[in-house]
Amino acid sequence: MKRLLATVIVGALAATALAGCSSAASGDKVVKVAYQTFGAFTQMDTNMKAVKKEYEAANTGVTVKLVPIAASENNYYTKLALMNRSASTAPDVLYEDTFLIKSDAEAGYLAPLDS
C-alpha cells in the first residue's frame, strides 16, 4: 500500500509540477519531493528511493530530489509549513496526511490535479 501511495504521489503530482520545477546544471528538470522519516520507521524512505529510481528511468531529463525530513509528526508538519512559505524552499511534491489537505489548498500550497 505504501509503495502504491508513493507511486501515486510522485507520479501524479510530479507530472503536474514539472512546469514550475527548477533546472539542474545539466539542463534536467528537478522535482523536489518532501516526506517524513522518523526513528526506526524506514519504509517511506525505502519506498521513495525505489520510486525515484523508477520515475527517473521512465522520464528522461527529470531528476527527483528527495527531501527526507527527520522529525516527529508535529515537527514534520511545522517544517513543511515553513518550507512552503517561500518558493525557493517549497517542495514540488510533499507527503502529508489527509487532514491537512483542505487547509493547505486554501493557503495556496497545493495545486489541483484536474484541469
Cβ partners under 8 Å of residue 16, min gap 6: 111, 113
Element of type H or E holding 3 = helix 2-8
Single out the residue of 110, 71, 112 nearest to residue 94, CA to CA: 110
- pLDDT tens digits for range 24-82: 555 689 999 999 998 888 889 999 999 999 999 999 999 999 999 999 988 998 998 89
Which one-letter DSSP state was computed for residue 80?
Answer: H
The fold of 2-106 is Rossmann fold (3.40.50)
- pLDDT tens digits for range 83-101: 988 989 999 998 888 888 8
Element of type H or E holding 7 = helix 2-8
The values of phi and psi at residue 53, to 5°, are -60, -45
Question: Is the whole model's pTM more than 0.75, yes or no?
Answer: no
